[in-house]
Structure 1
């Protein structure tokens, strides 16, 4: 198990380019299963979760060629359905949350799929009901073996249906969309997720020949087609990484320019950091964060304490709340962080309290942060990364803290952030992988 040794308290400076979007990659890569023609995808991040999914596709029989460091060509013209019955497939599926994204395309094109309950971060309950309910409405028949093995199949083509999703699940919507594009007839999905990554998937499918209306809204209408063709697709930069770099600059008093951000796709992220008092300058498609000695949290117009909470798009992504919470610890003022979606994501605050932060964990979903305004700097400790997003939040805390910190289990960080130690070292950070 690897660790990071971090010597904190150093201002950073320079430019950094965000990686391709992890959450988009897990959808886009599985969409190659919908056609037997070549699909070329660029700006793929070199991170553990994505690499494991590429390995899974290869083992399923997808032909994969690496054209450059971030560009691959995929061709699913000889998928081995028997591989889904092997112990190797079961082990791969259990180890990777993104494996759930093969359900829609496999059921749509091949009429069947099976999957063990996928793994991923331990951040609370993450039920798959939306996925299966939607695919069942398209004609899939679900069989549950034990408590954690799913089989779904259909006789002939799936058929279009009207559905109102019980939650605007991004991955659930993506699976249903990939099931519907080859279904017979018209599918209407109300309360669909409309995140930029879901929009990217839909736009890619349209280039492949799908007929999808309402992209970018929560009402999608899909007219099924007989087959899809190949295409080329470039993924968006990772909005979570962009937000992480903004938070890093603020916490360490650094001057950092984040390149090629696709600012129009970031939603509320820039304005949320501005509410914490962080200055941002848009320079074309780059975000420049100037060095600040102090930043002050806004209040509401009546003077009451600011609340920052997550929500489905176009609300704030829950993946950034861990970073925002850490950044607030050195702001001037107080903020209530409300993590609505996952009940275990705030439990990492005990490490921040050990570092000297003033945080009240109100319940599993809410934490009140009393900013120290840089008067009392955090101090280094030894800690363990519990999940991807908390891991990078702790890394930001360690880089701002006085003294030496050790972060264990950094494989969690590697799952979502490519070469993060090397890229931050290039900005002047002192990080050593143990």
Structure 2
């Protein structure tokens, strides 16, 4: 039997909660330790399955891993075992972890070759890896896919800087190409680069290690190749998706919550999108304070037409928070159209919300209209299964605001992205237990 969460909803919560380190930053930063033989110290690492699996994978490759504190590790990639990449163990581990694609750029840069099993991960539509591969090919890497053992073998013994126009502004794609380019000969220009804070963090870290990257924070990165990189220390940003989730949680349950140490200037338009839903929040130092609200009203556009909230590449609104916004809108006053442009099956958890009593029209796989209940009707608790990380937390928020008991199955999907979420919610007064 796998674990599930049992939740008795409808109670206001109260207190402080600290967001974990950013999951999406962790997968890139941890892969970057492979670029040097020197020691790299990383802090604020979230204790979640996807990240722990990658740390374990680094250890299996021969990286010397030491845990200094619960959230701080040192890594020393002095003796990498090249044979490991052809092994069944690598295929099993690398294939089950989408983040494993991120080790390819650094391995190509430092050793001139890599092999990767076809990766797995979230079921939120086709996440193509073409951007990564096309970028590596432009730098001079040669790919050979072996359908018999399911491995891509890559030869990159002579990487040369070049002009690359990415076919999509993929965060992991940009990160991977940047890591491959830092040790290539000559200058690489990457246009239509992703510019998320996670990627800025990676570039700043690489520069501290001795890389020469300019244009950080824009969609045009210039990377001057260097011959070697050195050790460094790096602290990861707090997870903006968690921060958004907690803002939504506070509003929906009518709770007074303080979210600690949020690195507010790195949150982009996230706070504003929640304000558009009518949620009051104030910045106190670097904490976000959300007062208890009985009621929040969705803005309309200036001409009075219905508000649309859509995702877009950074600095647009992150797709990872659209599921949260959708759930929070259920108890708002007013209506909103949620338009999920970037992935095609992220809205399929709406049926569970309908069962709970939400008023939502699913227009197509990309769009849903939410007609707010204005807290006149409480959602009712049901049994449900979490399809992906973000929908899982959205359902968790719905359950905490609902009347009666909810059971959420398949919670390992939630735990891939949120550390010790049940304990942290309990500390706010939530009635949640693992069964």
Q: What TM-score do the two structures reach when normalised by structure 2?
A: 0.99
What is the Cα deviation at residue 149 of structure 1?
Answer: 2.9
Counterpart in the other structure of 1:341 = 342
Alignment of 1:400-411 (within 5 A): 400-411=401-412
Counterpart in the other structure of 2:41 = 40
Counterpart in the other structure of 1:246 = 247
In 1, Cα distance between equivalents of 2:163 and 2:42: 31
What is the Cα deviation at residue 144 of structure 1?
Answer: 1.6
In 2, Cα distance between equivalents of 1:80 and 1:181: 22
Counterpart in the other structure of 1:151 = 153
Counterpart in the other structure of 2:69 = 68
After superposition, give the CA deviation of every residue in 1:146-180 in whole Å (9 maximum; x if it has no partner): 2953221123x311000111110000000000000
Aligned residue for 2:29, secondary structure, equals: helix
Tell whether 2:236 aligns with 1:235: yes
Aligned residue for 2:326, secondary structure, equals: helix
Counterpart in the other structure of 1:186 = 187
In 1, Cα distance between equivalents of 2:253 and 2:261: 22
Number of corresponding residues: 433
In 2, Cα distance between equivalents of 1:335 and 1:295: 13
In 2, Cα distance between equivalents of 1:154 and 1:249: 50
After superposition, give the CA deviation of every residue in 1:302-342 in whole Å (9 maximum; x if it has no partner): 11100000000000000000000000000000000000011
After superposition, give the CA deviation of every residue in 1:38-58 in whole Å (9 maximum; x if it has no partner): 000000000000000000000
What is the Cα deviation at residue 67 of structure 1?
Answer: 0.3
Aligned residue for 1:121, secondary structure, equals: coil
Tell whether 2:139 aligns with 1:138: yes
In 2, Cα distance between equivalents of 1:274 and 1:429: 24
Counterpart in the other structure of 1:427 = 428
Counterpart in the other structure of 1:415 = 416
Tell whether 2:284 aligns with 1:283: yes
Aligned residue for 2:244, secondary structure, equals: helix
Q: Which moved more, 1:108-117 or 1:323-332?
A: 108-117
Counterpart in the other structure of 1:332 = 333
Query: Which consecutive unaligned segments of at least 5 residues does structure 1 have?
Result: none
What is the Cα deviation at residue 119 of structure 1?
Answer: 1.1
Counterpart in the other structure of 2:173 = 172
What is the Cα deviation at residue 143 of structure 1?
Answer: 1.1
After superposition, give the CA deviation of every residue in 1:371-420 in whole Å (9 maximum; x if it has no partner): 00001110000000111000000000000000000000100111000000
Counterpart in the other structure of 1:85 = 86
Q: Which moved more, 1:226-235 or 1:108-117?
A: 108-117
What is the Cα deviation at residue 88 of structure 1?
Answer: 0.8
In 2, Cα distance between equivalents of 1:128 and 1:360: 32
In 2, Cα distance between equivalents of 1:311 and 1:176: 21
What is the Cα deviation at residue 84 of structure 1?
Answer: 0.7
In 1, Cα distance between equivalents of 2:82 and 2:306: 55
Counterpart in the other structure of 2:263 = 262
Q: Which moved more, 1:109-118 or 1:203-212?
A: 109-118
In 2, Cα distance between equivalents of 1:433 and 1:316: 32
In 2, Cα distance between equivalents of 1:75 and 1:165: 31
Runs of 4+ with >3 A deviation: none
Counterpart in the other structure of 2:201 = 200
Aligned residue for 1:172, secondary structure, equals: helix
Q: Note the aligned Cα RMSD (angstroms).
A: 0.7
After superposition, give the CA deviation of every residue in 1:175-219 in whole Å (9 maximum; x if it has no partner): 000000000000000010000000000000000000001000000
Counterpart in the other structure of 1:367 = 368
In 2, Cα distance between equivalents of 1:150 and 1:220: 27
Alignment of 1:111-126 (within 5 A): 111-126=112-127
In 1, Cα distance between equivalents of 2:120 and 2:10: 36
Counterpart in the other structure of 2:317 = 316
Tell whether 2:216 aligns with 1:215: yes
Counterpart in the other structure of 1:51 = 52
In 2, Cα distance between equivalents of 1:361 and 1:115: 38
In 1, Cα distance between equivalents of 2:168 and 2:385: 32
Alignment of 1:300-315 (within 5 A): 300-315=301-316
In 2, Cα distance between equivalents of 1:408 and 1:250: 24
Aligned residue for 1:422, secondary structure, equals: helix
Query: Which consecutive unaligned segments of at least 5 residues does structure 2 have?
Result: none
In 2, Cα distance between equivalents of 1:112 and 1:377: 57
Tell whether 2:5 aligns with 1:4: yes
